Amino acid sequence: MKASPPQNNYPAGNVVATPVIQGVKLLHADESLLVLDKPAGLLSVPGRGEDKQDCLSARVQAVFADALIVHRLDQATSGLMLMARSAAMQRALSRSFETREVSKRYVAVVSGHLPTPDDPSGWGLIDLPIVVDWPNRPLRIIDTERGKPSQTRWQVLSHDVAANTTRVELEPVTGRSHQLRVHLKALGHPILGDAMYAPETVQAAAPRLLLHAAALKFTHPASGLAMAFESAPEF
């Protein structure tokens, strides 16, 4: 049964049983913030032009008029996003992102057999600076001289020998645009379905970008409670 759109009157701490707002799953709503699950192919915010006005923020604001964007996911990426319900909460959550108090984990499927890191923890670190590729905007590139410091932690979840792919978990330490996509390309293992950074054969290996924001942890700025959300990828 499809859930009815929620009303704009949630008390603090009330967890909603996954209503859907025009294809966007609402995982949590209280008087301060919203936790949403964005489908792949949907913009986070409006773009330029009439054909780019449909986006997560517009769909959510049709139900929660006070909802404000705190961070973004690429259009091709699916998964968890936060929205604030006041300017003060937007500032508080933005500070949490800036000070790296928000933990984000992604799941991706990449081309080739990516070996498990040697570290006993099972985690590896990509530490490669990223800069805008100005002649080819909005693409990003690795640039050790002009790039901004960019770090991504990663671990192997599984290998698919038959498909010659690797499922990985990713934790961005920094939050540069396209960071995960650029870093995995730099490793020689681009994400399947990546129309911006993968060769044509890897693009064609999946109907969409196989990158999903799967876990989100943060301290609620109003209540001080630890908040944790998970979303399983559809791939």
The domain ranges of the chain are 1-99, 105-211
Residue 133 known to be catalytic: no
Residue from 74, 119, 143, 160 carrying the catalytic annotation: 74
Helix/strand/coil (H/E/C) assignment for every residue in the chain: CCCCCCCCCCCCCCCCCCCEECCEEEEEECCCEEEEEECCCCECCCCCCHHHCCEHHHHHHCCCCCCEECCCCCCCCEEEEEEECCHHHHHHHHHHHHCCCCEEEEEEEEECCCCCCCCCCCCEEEECCEEECHHHCCCEEECCCCCECCEEEEEEEEEECCCCEEEEEEEECCCCCCHHHHHHHHCCCCECCCCCCCCHHHHCCCCCCCEEEEEEEEECCCCCCEEEEECCCCC
Kindly give the confidence (pLDDT) of every residue in the chain, 235 residues in length, as a single tens digit, with 9 standing for 90 and above: 333 333 333 334 444 457 999 999 999 999 999 999 999 999 999 988 887 899 999 999 999 999 999 999 999 999 999 999 999 999 999 999 999 999 999 999 999 999 999 999 999 999 999 999 999 999 999 999 999 999 999 999 999 999 999 999 999 999 999 999 999 999 999 999 999 999 999 999 999 999 999 999 999 999 999 999 999 999 9
**pTM for the predicted model, two decimal places:** 0.90
Same topology for domains 1-99 and 105-211, yes or no? Answer: yes
Specify whether domain 105-211 bears CATH 3.30.70.270. no
Specify whether domain 1-99 bears CATH 3.30.200.20. no
